[in-house]
């Protein structure tokens, strides 16, 4: 997305199949404007579109320091992306230089008028070759833009957006989200993420690695248990089975997983049998919730 407050000069070069017309002088002018900024440390938003898949087409905030990419953060999930897949601005200029030199069959480029970096690039290297076209969109470049990626090996709590995103998975393929590596993204990936990657279980809404009364306090405080609003719940507010609601079905899901631990012993607490009415599950949750609340008053 482009910031409307920035006046951008748009220079678009559309070519015949014979040659790219972006002259060396024009490219040098934009490159000189960029270089004059003296920016070695900066962040910017980047998205590639191509006939490819996986991390390379994820929208990312790319952080560059001392001229090199140090990390790329997925804007949708906050997870870390393979930084070698994402270019610095200098590398974008290098690719433009290659397109001018070759020349590419088609080259379209727009530049930020204030800073000189490429904001939209489209390259068709050879019209006789299919599916090698590339398209980049960048925005929001600034020295201060810095979005460190979620490192769930140190803090599993930052993975909550991914757990919720995977509720929507219905078989589409995205290698970035295919946690169990079976070439489809579906509910099995959500379960694999929760139990195998994050090493926790259903019910652990605060993602501290255990399912205990603290999670009940959190989810019942959300006030979403079987409320009248549609599809308004998340992992953090009690949607453990992934249907976007917090209901008795979530309590069943969590206790069937068998991971509930009592606070006093750390051992699994006896729980109602799965076939019991929903009211029994709710009562169990409310008892835990009210017991824990007494600790706060
Ligand atoms: Ca999968
Ligand atoms: Ca927990
Ligand atoms: Ca609801
Ligand atoms: Ca639910």
Tens digit of each residue's pLDDT (9 = 90 or more) over 106-141: 888 999 999 999 999 999 888 787 777 889 999 999
Mean pLDDT computed over 65-82:
94
Q: Which ligand is nearest to the CA of 231?
A: 3
Q: How far is the CA of 225 from the centre of ligand 3 (A)?
A: 7
Q: CB of 135 within 8 A of CB of 121? A: yes
Write down the mean pLDDT value for the chain.
Answer: 84
Q: CB of 81 within 8 A of CB of 59? A: no
Q: Which ligand is nearest to the CA of 174?
A: 1
* pLDDT-based confidence at residue 187 (cuts at 50, 70, 90): very high
> Residue 188 corresponds to which tokens in the numbers above?
């099995």
Q: Give pLDDT tens digits for 92-111.
A: 999 999 999 988 888 889 99
The pLDDT value recorded for residue 81 is 93
Q: How far is the CA of 163 from the centre of ligand 1 (A)?
A: 13
Could you list which residues have their CB under 5 Å from ion ligand 4? 239, 241, 243, 245, 250
Q: Which ligand is nearest to the CA of 248?
A: 4
Whether pLDDT at 83 is above 60: yes
The pLDDT value recorded for residue 264 is 59
The pLDDT value recorded for residue 286 is 54
Q: How far is the CA of 79 from the centre of ligand 1 (A)?
A: 17
Could you list which residues have their CB under 5 Å from ion ligand 1? 178, 180, 182, 189
Whether pLDDT at 149 is above 60: yes
Q: How far is the CA of 231 from the centre of ligand 3 (A)?
A: 5
* pLDDT-based confidence at residue 12 (cuts at 50, 70, 90): very low
Q: Which ligand is nearest to the CA of 216?
A: 2
Whether pLDDT at 214 is above 60: yes
- Strand pairing of 68-74 and 80-81? antiparallel
The pLDDT value recorded for residue 16 is 31
* pLDDT-based confidence at residue 17 (cuts at 50, 70, 90): very low
Greater model confidence, 48 or 16: 48
> Residue 83 corresponds to which tokens in the numbers above?
């930084």
Q: How far is the CA of 81 from the centre of ligand 2 (A)?
A: 27
Q: CB of 110 within 8 A of CB of 103? A: no
Mean pLDDT computed over 66-88:
94
Q: How far is the CA of 193 from the centre of ligand 1 (A)?
A: 10
Whether pLDDT at 265 is above 70: no
DSSP 3-state assignment of 99? helix
Q: Which ligand is nearest to the CA of 188?
A: 1
Domain boundaries defined on the chain? 24-142, 156-296
Q: How far is the CA of 239 from the centre of ligand 3 (A)?
A: 9
* pLDDT-based confidence at residue 281 (cuts at 50, 70, 90): low
* pLDDT-based confidence at residue 283 (cuts at 50, 70, 90): low
3-state SS of the chain?
Answer: CCCCCCCCCCCCCCCCCCCCCCCHHHHHHHHHHHHHCCCCCEEEEEEEEECCCHHHHCCEEEEEECCEEEEEEECCCCEEECHHHCCCHHHHHHHHHHHHHCCCCEEEEEECCCCCCEEEEEEECCCCCCCCCEEEEEEEEECCCCCCCECCCCCHHHHHHHHHHHHHCCCCCCCCCCCCCCCCCCHHHHHHHHHHHCCCCCCCCCCCCCECHHHHHHHHHCCCECCCCCCCCCHHHCCCCCCCCECHHHHHHHHHCCCEECCCCCCECCCCCCCCCHHHHHHHHHHHHHHHHHHHC
pTM above 0.85, yes or no: no
Could you list which residues have their CB under 5 Å from ion ligand 3? 227, 229, 232, 245
Report how far residue 61's alpha carbon sits from residue 44's, in angstroms, rounded to the nearest whole number: 6
């Amino acid at each position: 997305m482009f910031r409307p407050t920035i006046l951008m000069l748009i220079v678009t070069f559309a070519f015949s199949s014979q040659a790219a017309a972006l002259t060396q002088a024009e490219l040098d002018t934009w490159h000189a404007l960029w270089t004059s900024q003296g920016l070695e440390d900066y962040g910017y938003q980047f998205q590639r579109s191509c006939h490819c898949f996986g991390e390379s087409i994820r929208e990312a905030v790319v952080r560059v320091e001392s001229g090199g990419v140090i990390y790329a953060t997925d804007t949708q999930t906050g997870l870390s992306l393979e930084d070698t897949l994402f270019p610095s601005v200098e590398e974008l200029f290098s690719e433009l230089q290659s397109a001018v030199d070759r020349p590419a069959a088609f080259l379209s480029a727009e530049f930020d008028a204030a800073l000189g970096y490429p904001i939209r690039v489209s390259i068709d290297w050879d019209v006789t070759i299919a599916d090698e076209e590339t398209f980049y969109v960048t925005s929001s470049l600034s020295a201060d833009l810095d979005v460190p990626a979620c490192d769930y090996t140190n803090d599993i709590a930052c993975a909550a957006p991914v757990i919720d995103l995977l509720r929507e998975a219905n078989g589409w393929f995205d290698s970035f989200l295919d946690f169990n590596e079976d070439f489809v993204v579906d509910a099995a990936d959500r379960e694999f993420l929760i139990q195998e990657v994050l090493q926790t279980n259903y019910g652990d809404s605060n993602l501290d690695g255990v399912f205990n009364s603290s999670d009940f306090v959190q989810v019942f405080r959300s006030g979403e248990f079987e409320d009248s609003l549609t599809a308004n719940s998340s992992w953090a507010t009690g949607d453990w089975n992934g249907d976007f609601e917090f209901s008795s079905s979530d309590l069943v899901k969590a206790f069937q997983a068998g991971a509930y631990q009592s606070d006093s012993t750390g051992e699994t607490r006896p729980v109602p049998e799965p076939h019991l009415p929903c009211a029994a599950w709710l009562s169990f949750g409310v008892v835990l919730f009210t017991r824990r609340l007494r600790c706060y008053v």
